[in-house]
Amino acid sequence: MSNSTNNRGWIITFAALGINLIMGALYSWGVIGKALVADWKWSNTDASLPFTVSAAVFAITMIFAGRAQDKFGPRPITLLGGIMLGGGLILSGFANSLATMIFTFGVISAIGIGLGYSAVTPCAIKWFDSSRKGLITGIVVSGVGLSPVYMTPITSSLLKIYGISTTFIILGVFAIAVVFVLSFFISNPPELKTANTAGNQAKAPATQGNDYTWNEVTQKPQFYLLWIMYALAATAGLMLIAHLPKIAEAQAQWKAGFWLVVILSIFNALGRVGGGVLSDKIGRTRAMMLVFMIQAANMFAFTFYTSIPLLIIGAIVAGLAYGSVFSLFPTTTAEFFGIKNMGVNYGMIFTGWGFAGVFGGMLAAFVKDKTGVYDYGYLVAGVFLILATVLVRVLKAPKARV
């Protein structure tokens, strides 16, 4: 690959990172949900519903968005995603009921996030060879993990100054403006169209001869194993992200618990890059097993984190492990099923994350409302991670086509 092409790939990678920094607006809901409980007197369960619906809609959108970006290219899909994300946030500023908030944030904004996220990750990966898949994936998806680092304190400040409604409107305008500019840097590499021409064989992705269509993927047991593992592994992280400020107050009487979201987000981003690099070095499945076991131990111990320092340690470990998941699964998808149709193939597997978003967010809220503590939610999440670790042992790559 020429230097100019390589440089172009890095430009696109960092533009994709910037777009994902905006698409990570979903993870600011922990602060907004706390404000809805405190200021609008919503229950914990009601305040979790828009986030829960958004996770499901986001994941389902990934299937159709992935297919659309495979067909039409990443730029128009990214631009449409930014408009829908920002538009949904702006409309949330006028919502005055739970049902309306579910539709504006949980549906419209979530569709926008799914469109943007589905387009930029496969696009960036296509500019690099297989030895860098994990690294590039980690860099791009770290944007979503890093998003709460700046969005959580900004959202918290906006909520104090302007209230919930105006905060939504400001965030929406900001999202549209940034994604509009960055989307013009996004494109697929020319090699994707000419990889089979004479003299250009070296540029072809390593998996090109083993590309599977979406319907072929659904006939493979690896697809169902990856889906189940994604759902099991993501539950713990999503449960914590949606409830950390409230967990901090309940277990350590820490009213500034939104800083835990910031801490988890920083290490979430580091985990995405670190998990990608680790999987490049030791292999995808070995990295998965290590990450799942660490997160399981952390979840079983979380009920004992009753001081600020212990909660910080728990958030750090949870962030690293949860972030790694977002590097491990797309790179595994690319290696198992090829690059050509990665958008739709990974989109289908990503619905496992959507299931976890629904179950994880509601699990913690339901447990807290019924028992007054989060302990049983941690226990369930830990068991899920043990099951995911067991499934890694039976996961093998599909046989290469002859």
* pLDDT exceeds cutoff 60 at 259: yes
The confidence band for 207, taking pLDDT boundaries of 50, 70 and 90, is: very low
* pLDDT exceeds cutoff 80 at 383: yes
Q: What is the pLDDT of residue 168?
A: 93
* pLDDT exceeds cutoff 90 at 180: yes
* pLDDT exceeds cutoff 60 at 130: yes
Torsion from C-alpha of 7, 8, 13, 15, nearest 10 degrees: 120
Task: Enter the tokens of residue 251.
Answer: 């277990």
The confidence band for 77, taking pLDDT boundaries of 50, 70 and 90, is: very high
The confidence band for 191, taking pLDDT boundaries of 50, 70 and 90, is: low
Computed over every residue of the chain, the mean pLDDT equals 84
Cβ(377)–Cβ(222) below 8 Å: no
The confidence band for 158, taking pLDDT boundaries of 50, 70 and 90, is: very high
**pTM for the predicted model, two decimal places:** 0.75
The average pLDDT across 224-250 equals 86
Q: What is the pLDDT of residue 121?
A: 81
Cβ(292)–Cβ(301) below 8 Å: no
Q: Compare 243 and 105 and report the one with higher pLDDT.
A: 105
Go through 70-86 and write b for each residue having 16 or more CB atoms within 10 A of its CB, e for each that does not.
beeebbebbbbbbbbbb
The confidence band for 63, taking pLDDT boundaries of 50, 70 and 90, is: confident
In terms of Cβ atoms closer than 10 Å to its own Cβ (0-12, 13-18, 19+), residue 101 is buried
The confidence band for 201, taking pLDDT boundaries of 50, 70 and 90, is: very low
* pLDDT exceeds cutoff 90 at 58: no
Q: What is the pLDDT of residue 151?
A: 84
* pLDDT exceeds cutoff 90 at 78: yes
* pLDDT exceeds cutoff 60 at 205: no
* pLDDT exceeds cutoff 80 at 104: yes
Task: Enter the tokens of residue 399.
Answer: 């046989």
Q: What is the pLDDT of residue 197?
A: 39
Q: What is the pLDDT of residue 344?
A: 85
The confidence band for 194, taking pLDDT boundaries of 50, 70 and 90, is: very low
pLDDT per residue as tens digits for the range 288-337: 999 999 999 999 999 899 999 999 999 999 999 998 998 899 889 988 88
Q: What is the pLDDT of residue 124?
A: 85
Q: Compare 301 and 284 and report the one with higher pLDDT.
A: 301
* pLDDT exceeds cutoff 90 at 4: no
- pLDDT above 70: percentage of residues in the chain: 92
What are the C-alpha distances in Å from 154 to residues 40, 47, 151, 256, 299? 20, 20, 5, 14, 29
